[in-house]
Structure 1
């Protein structure tokens, strides 16, 4: 039951981390807005909550001395996957901090990336002054506060990774995968070889004497054609 719970938590963490990664890629672009920054904040906080819960489950399981060898190997694989997921989350949080600092929401010259909005100043201002835009302008310090909070959260994730390495010693290079590297490619190649064998079985084995005779016949035929062409030119 504990293993299934860890797998479910890790799966949810992977999805949250992947979602956060895609959101970070849009910071500073034409789709950037306060709505995006708020969604980034919610997603990374959700990812951190899942990370804390996953770490607690895996730590308790791996520190259990009565754990069987097979179960321990499975939990170690989950631990390595969890560590990699945390590394990606920390890297994306640092990227979000750098992009958020470079592209502040309410800077006078923002956005630095062209958005394609064109028209007179009055028309653009009229389109921009919606109820949501006014609310966002009233909350002009949101991105500043969020970046400060993001700095603190990056430190927390870094401390979590360090604490994990201190409490549970699972070197990544000692964990064996369930399948060999490139198993998908090998399975595809295996399917191709099976198809080739089935074709060979249908067509039968190759007769070397027949192949040699066909080659000699082709050479003689080509020589005859070349000779006929030369005679025609000379005549």
Structure 2
């Protein structure tokens, strides 16, 4: 009887699972960095705009571009594999949809920062919009870079000509992002509307008002389905009394009109 060596198959399975786990962790990290970049991008042109904010935007953008480049090459190589199991292909397609959506948001925010920085220059502080916000956004950038404290890690202040350097660097990153998105659509054909979401199905959440309304209805109707409800009986009696009173008043008025006419 020939011996069967399952060691290679087990190693391939472990490697595949580890690769899928690493890709999922990278996509989750990219989503966090893109969210932080969007938060920082919303402050450009406002009263909180400064050289420090532009420097934090640069660091966050560089981290996002680094993650996107790594994820793009990994997912593209995985989805182009024709021998990929169906279960893993579905999981990779879900990661691909999340990755491509995050990439589009990042590209949109980068274009927004490029236009806003062109309109609102740091040299002219009068043109900045007074939004009423105060303080910096070091904590947001620290979360994107996965550091405890950004102010302790950086020892040098941003250069004075950072605004001009950032414009050239941002333009190059936007061009690189355009090329990456076009390259993704060319190499991998994953239709987003054909990818089925997975995970737990959550029921429709009811609002507090609707919950209180249902609770009040339950409290006001303590009767069972077998017999009539006491509240309904009282309502019917009240309506009948009102009708009898209206009829009595109408009869009295008609009689008075007949006798006094």
Instruction: Report the TM-score range of the alignment, normalised by the length of the smaller protein.
Output: 0.7 to 0.9
Mind listing any 5+ residue stretches in structure 1 that lack a counterpart? 117-134
Alpha-carbon offset, residue 61 of structure 1:
1.8
The answer for the alignment partner of 1:113 in structure 2 is 128
Deviates further, 1-10 or 37-46:
1-10
- Kindly indicate whether residue 170 of structure 2 is the aligned counterpart of residue 147 of structure 1: no
Q: Which residue of 1 aligns with 2:110?
A: 93
User: Which residue is 1:218 aligned to?
Assistant: 238
Asked if 1 retains the 8 angstrom alpha-carbon contact of 2:26 and 2:67, the reply is: yes
Instruction: Tell me: CA distance 1:208–1:145, structure 2 relative to 1, closer, same or farther (3 Å).
Output: same
- 1:126 is aligned to none
Number of equivalences: 204
**What is the CA distance between 1:211 and its match in structure 2?**
8.1
CA distance in 2, matches of 1:202, 1:215: 15
Q: Give, in angstroms, the shift of residue 57 of structure 1.
A: 2.0
Residue in structure 1 matched with residue 31 of structure 2 by the alignment: 14
Equivalent residue, structure 1, for 2:192 = 172
Q: Deviation of residue 56 (structure 1)?
A: 2.0
Relative to structure 1, is the Cα distance of residues 102 and 224 closer, same or farther in structure 2, using a 3 angstrom cutoff? Answer: same
1:82/1:218 CA distance change after superposition, 3 Å: same
Q: Which residue of 1 aligns with 2:176?
A: 156
Shift of 1:113: 2.6
Q: Structure 2-normalised TM-score? A: 0.67
Indicate yes or no: 2:71 matched with 1:51.
Answer: no
Q: Unaligned regions of 5+ residues in structure 2, if any?
A: 1-17, 132-156, 257-261
Match of 2:95 in 1: 78
Give, in whole Å, the separation in 1 of the partners of 2:78 and 2:129.
51
Alignment partner, residue 83 of structure 2: 66
Aligned-pair CA distance for 1:228: 8.0
Could you tell me how far apart the structure 2 residues matched to 1:188 and 1:27 are? 36
Number of the residue aligned with 1:4:
21
Normalized per residue, the structure richer in helix is: 1
Report the alpha carbon displacement of residue 2 of structure 1 after superposing the two structures with TM: 1.3
User: In structure 2, do the counterparts of structure 1 residues 202 and 224 end up closer, same or farther at CA, with 3 Å as the change threshold?
Assistant: closer
Question: In structure 2, do the counterparts of structure 1 residues 204 and 71 end up closer, same or farther at CA, with 3 Å as the change threshold?
Answer: farther
In the alignment, the residues of structure 1 paired with residue 244 and residue 113 of structure 2 have an alpha-carbon distance, to the nearest angstrom, of 76
d(CA) in 2 for partners of 1:66, 1:33: 51
